[in-house]
A and B are shown apart, each in its own frame.
Chain A
Amino acid sequence: SAMPEQYSRAVDWLSRYGYLPPPDPRTSKLQTKEGIEKAIRVMQRFGGVRETGVLDGETLKLMSTPRCSLPDIVGGEDMLKKRRRRRR
């Protein structure tokens, strides 16, 4: 099972690639356990590994695989929108 540090890094990874909504510094909102499990499942399905909902070895290995830095799930937080907000 994942160590706390790995877990924290994984949540950051999930946010960066669009599987979790980005943290909101104004509200310090916590991600729910169910939300994180669901995000891990989506990530596992997208990456073609066994869908367990937990940070198993296979999932952690995939998260450390070199990759493109665009998000996999492009929602309201895609790069262009972020850029426009940053400019404003």
Chain B
Amino acid sequence: YALSGLKWHKSDLTWSVHSYPTPSRSPGLPSTMVDSILTHAFKAWSDAAPLTFHQQPGGGGSASSGGDIRVSFNSLLHDDGYPFDGLGGTLAHAFFPGRDDVSGDTHFDDHERWSYGGESSGTTDLFTVAVHEFGHALGLSHSSSDPSIMRPYYQGPVGDILHYQLALDDRLAIQQLYGIKGGQQPGGVDPNLPRLPSPPPTKPTKPSDPSVHDRCHGGFDAVANIRGEVFFFQGAHFWRTTRDGSLVSLNPAQIQNFWMGFPPGTNKIDAVYERKSDSSIIFFVGSQYWVFKDTVAMSGYPRPLSEWGMKRKSGALVDRVDAAFIWAHNGKTYLFSQGEFWRFDESRKGQRGTPQPEPGYPRDNSLWTGVPSRMDDIISWGEGDAHFFKDNHYWVLKSGGMNQDSVEPKSIGVDWLRCPVPPSTSAPANPDGPRRCRCDLTD
């Protein structure tokens, strides 16, 4: 939830209605029913926090009378600086608590077709919008949580108004401001100040041992292009470079502190890639795989790697993945394991929802000439070029190319991880039994 930083410094609040919906646009809502709907909308909040709401006579719409929260139905320009826009678009707004004349005012767009309950086509449920707007009038801002009545978008009626209860996110928000019903007032010593959430239990930081985790030595278990950033996984840690090529930190982060959902003791990632269709992130660890939504593992994982249907030429099931990437050249997913690779079209799913290998696979890694046949991992980067990572070097196959003779190894440390240029040394052995001589990196 999000709080506006403003609240009422009292718990007995008054409200009034200064105008009602135009009957021709909202024929099913006589004023008595509007009063009843609004009363129940306030009750949703007073059920969750020690607040009371009393209705006062509305009168002619004077801003200086009518209690704390003045409700009105207005059209277009209505003298508060925030005109409505006719049917659709914006539905309502409310002003946060405070000492201003306008504080607490709640305005509904009279061009909407307001209704009560049900899912009538083209109408807007007054109760649902009123609970939301009164949340603002009590000090809450918009929330991105789902479910929460404080989400900014109207998503249809919330249901039975007699038994409606706020979602947890909203209850916590209102209780943060006004305390728990029958319980303590918020804020401890000074109830006027919002109480801060309880801090999580302390978790001592375990500093990384630089002698063990030196990014400049290379040898990464997995490398992945995730949301335009490149992640280098090694052991239980990873480094991360942003889109502009800068390293987020010279020190590695712990995989389990960032990627939530791996079982304790997970200390090696075999391969990772970001799925194109839904931006999920797929992790391969041993004979299992996980699907992550953002940084959290989805429920139901891990699942067995065998669901991917990869069989070796020998007929044996694949029990681990060395590398995984989506080749930007054709949008297909490639998984590599022990010298063989499989191609997948992820728009075609098998019975369990996992893609199945295309016919004609596996094929030998040696088809990717000029690069190591046993790579650590692969990513698509830049203009769609395939980058093959092995030890502390990487090889670039230009977009669409699978068979390029002159592929020079480059330094991962220097080009990706802000490491110093090493003194001149011999180049790595040609990965596939050299077709030609190799010079050292500086020659």
Contact = CB atoms under 8 A, between A and B. Distances in A.
Interface of A: 17, 45-48, 50-52, 62, 65-72, 74, 78-80, 82-83, 86
Nearest to A51: B279
Interface of B: 2, 4, 80-82, 84, 88-96, 98, 100, 102-103, 112, 124, 129, 132-133, 136, 141-142, 144, 146, 152-155, 227, 278-279
Contacts, number: 83
B100 A62 contact: no
A72 B152 CA distance: 7
Contacts of B82: 69, 79
Contacts of B227: 51
A56 B252 CA distance: 35
B142 A69 contact: no
Given A46-B144, A68-B142, A72-B142, A83 B102 contact: yes
15 contacts: A45-B144, A47-B152, A47-B153, A51-B227, A51-B279, A52-B279, A66-B90, A68-B133, A68-B142, A68-B154, A69-B91, A69-B92, A72-B141, A79-B82, A80-B102
Contacts of A69: 82, 84, 90-93
B154 A66 contact: yes
B178 to A, nearest CB: 20
A41 to B, nearest CB: 10
Contact of A48 (B124, B142, B146): B146
Given A52-B279, A66-B90, A68-B92, 20 more contacts: A46-B142, A47-B152, A50-B279, A51-B279, A62-B153, A65-B153, A66-B88, A67-B89, A67-B152, A68-B93, A71-B142, A72-B152, A79-B81, A79-B93, A80-B95, A80-B100, A80-B102, A80-B103, A83-B100, A83-B102
Majority SS at the chain A contact face = loop
A80 B92 contact: no
Contacts of A65: 153-155
Nearest to B144: A46
Contact of B90 (A45, A47, A68, A86): A68
Majority SS at the chain B contact face = loop
B81 A80 contact: no
B27 to A, nearest CB: 20
A83 B79 CA distance: 11
B144 A68 contact: no
Contacts of B91: 66-69
Contacts of A45: 144
Given A45-B144, A51-B279, A82-B81, A67 B90 contact: yes
A70 B93 contact: yes
B148 to A, nearest CB: 11
List the 6 closest pairs (A to B, CB-CB), nearest first.
A69-B90, A69-B93, A46-B144, A72-B142, A66-B154, A65-B153
A22 to B, nearest CB: 13
A87 B146 CA distance: 37
B240 to A, nearest CB: 17
A70 B144 CA distance: 14
Contacts of A74: 2, 4, 141
Contacts of A70: 93-94, 136, 141-142, 152
B279 A66 contact: no
Nearest to B142: A72
Contacts of A67: 89-91, 152-154
Nearest to A85: B81
Contacts of B95: 79-80
Nearest to B107: A69
Contacts of B155: 65
Contacts of B84: 69
Nearest to A16: B90
A78 B142 CA distance: 12
Nearest to A52: B279
A21 B184 CA distance: 40
Interface centre among A70, A72, A78, A83 (most CB of B within 10 A): A70
A80 B136 contact: no
A68 to B, nearest CB: 5
B169 to A, nearest CB: 13
Contacts of A66: 88-91, 112, 124, 153-154
Interface centre among A48, A68, A83 (most CB of B within 10 A): A68
A52 B278 CA distance: 10
A77 B259 CA distance: 35
Contacts of B144: 45-48, 72
B177 to A, nearest CB: 15
Contacts of B142: 46, 68, 70-72
